[in-house]
Amino acid sequence: MKRRVVVTGIGAVSPVGNDAKTAWENVIAGQSGVGSLTRLDPEQFSAKVAAEIKDFDIEKYIERKEARKMDRFTHYALASAMMAVEDAQLKIDETNADRVGVWIGSGIGGMETFEKQFETFQKRGYRRVSPFFVPMMIPDMATGQVSIYLGAKGVNSCTVTACATGTNSIGDAFKVIQRGDADAMIAGGAEAPITQMSYAGFCANTALTTNPDPNTASRPFDLNRDGFVIGEGAGIVILEELEQALKRGAKIYAEVVGYGSTGDAYHITAPAPGGEGGARAMQMAIQDGGLRPEDVQYINAHGTSTAYNDKYETMAVKTVFGDHARQLAISSTKSMTGHLLGAAGGVEAIFTVMAIKEGILPPTINYETPDPDCDLDYVPNESRRAEITAAISNSLGFGGHNATLAFKKYE
């Protein structure tokens, strides 16, 4: 007997807001978080824009001394997790700590820490490398620190599946509760990739847009898209077993009903032709959730603003939904947040459950010139009122990772 799982708390640090409520309000208003690159010298790179976190202060959450022992991706995860637990009004103490788990992933982990400490090593030798270097850098430390600070002693894990990380993390956490290994999970993704080497790497493989105008740089599904805008942040949800959530009177954003995870077995960066792997992930999530394709009304697309991704994701949607594809509303909130890599799935899961709860579809902004290969309803430029009873969120990652979450309005 599968246990039912619901979302009872949300927390985010994002380019469009440093809490989930602000981020959601800005997204439905079509407000972009993309700006000119400031963390790095833009003259060194072909890409000139980024979706950076602004006005974030980790000392609102932890002491400066402790913050200095963490990479920024862990700062974002810890703040988001604290906000999500507070939003859920979930008390973690000796009575339930071993039944509350943490599953937070990161695509590249503490890259900034790695770069700074390597520079120290080169200039001053190994004795001057921080003793906290390794625990600051490794991707699982966001999960580790959240567990330590919040006292969650249950299932404790970290997924690293590139841009599918956040969605895989929430999906795997969902399954932990569903099979009875935990009663609540703190789950999502965190990333701080705007660093010299990661930015250089994405520029070198021509993944990033070279459009220097922040206002139009991220344009998923538009004919004139030319690459994604890199972003940073974290998105964390609180998942709970339904009966426990009801017993303690928790508010419920939506029910998680399905999860699909597949591999392309095709190429290290390019998606499989036709979005074959993504189509199977969507089919798995829909079937796992006991849904029919025609039950789904909204898709929060991976929608990176790259040529192949947007085209093949559109093809995958048509494969899965057939004629119903033209009745679906699809949006890429990356048009406003940029691409948060391992954190994308966490933030986009939040936007998906909010779309269900509030009955508002976030837009795909900068959609100006239709692409004949991308000919579905992408909720262009303005949000839209709609009654949503079932929705899915897609994430696709380097290495051929595909992940989909299916959500329903809680009844």
Q: Report d(CA 113, CA 116) in Å as an integer.
A: 5
Report the DSSP beta bridge partners of residue 240: 6, 184
Following DSSP, what letter does each residue of 312-329 receive, concatenated? HHHHHHHHHHGGGGGG-E
Among positive and negative, which fits the CA dihedral 356, 332, 349, 68?
negative
Residue 124 CB neighbours (<10 A): 10
DSSP conformational letter for 158 = -
Helix (H) or strand (E) holding 101: strand 100-105
Single out the catalytic residue among 158, 163, 203, 374. 163
Cβ atoms of 342 and 162 within 8 Å: the answer is yes
Residue 105's nearest CA partner among 353, 403, 341 is: 341
- Beta-carbon contacts of 338 under 8 Å, excluding residues fewer than 6 positions away, are 15, 33, 34, 50, 51, 218, 228, 229, 230, 231
3-state secondary structure 74-90: HHHHHHHHHHHHHHHCC
- Beta-carbon contacts of 115 under 8 Å, excluding residues fewer than 6 positions away, are 195, 196, 197
- Beta-carbon contacts of 212 under 8 Å, excluding residues fewer than 6 positions away, are 36, 48, 49
Cα 98 off chain centre by = 26
Cβ atoms of 157 and 172 within 8 Å: the answer is yes
Counting Cα atoms < 13 Å in the Cβ hemisphere of 375 gives 4
Residue 230's SS3 state is: strand
Q: Which two three-digit tokens encode residue 149?
A: 């600070």
Residue 365's SS3 state is: coil
Annotated active-site residue 163? The verdict is: yes
DSSP conformational letter for 274 = G
Question: Nearest 5°: phi and psi at 184?
Answer: -150, 150
Which stretches of 269-343 are DSSP H helices?
276-288, 307-321, 334-337
Residues forming the active site: 163
